[in-house]
Structure 1
Amino acid sequence: MDYQKLVASLTPELYASFKRAIELGKWPDGRVLTVEQKQSCIQAVIAYEHLHLPKEQHSGYIPPKVHSHCGSDGDELDHGQEKPIKWQH
């Protein structure tokens, strides 16, 4: 079985099991994950999330930071809209 078919065959239960094994560093039966197993689980989790979950639910997702730009007075930015520059004396 090739990698793409393997990833496509992952179930939500396997995904959850792999994610939990990564978090704990061991399998549900208590056996410690080897370095290779941990790497494979991480790759499988990332691939599963890419195929089945919105990016906001991906492991390690960091939402965009709200920030202000030069010359703004805290108003929401209107993307695509020009705003006049405010000069301060």
Structure 2
Amino acid sequence: MSHSKQCKTRQDNSVDMPEFYMPAMWPFDLQNFIVDCWAAWRWRRQMRRLLQEDASGRARLGSARAAVAHGAQERLTVIAARFAARRRQRRGERP
């Protein structure tokens, strides 16, 4: 059986806290932290790749170059915190 269709990625990787939580269950806060850090690393890597493509002439950033350069130099913890805040805002959680 060939796999001709592209797999769809999940848009929201965060997991809701269940009403009943046992100590042997997976720590959801840790899972959300890992997902946020991984997404932040991917985002920063994309910004750095855009800068390299702009320098080699394969992409034109124009007026967005300063914002992309800032994003490429930003710390992962800051980016991950921003991702976590957006996730909480979408879910209506408190910060």
Q: What TM-score does the superposition give when structure 2 sets the normalisation length?
A: 0.32
Report the TM-score, using the length of structure 1 for normalisation.
0.34
Larger Rg computed on CA atoms: 1
Point out which structure has higher relative CO (alpha carbons under 8 A, 6+ apart).
2
**Higher normalized helix content (fraction of residues):** 2
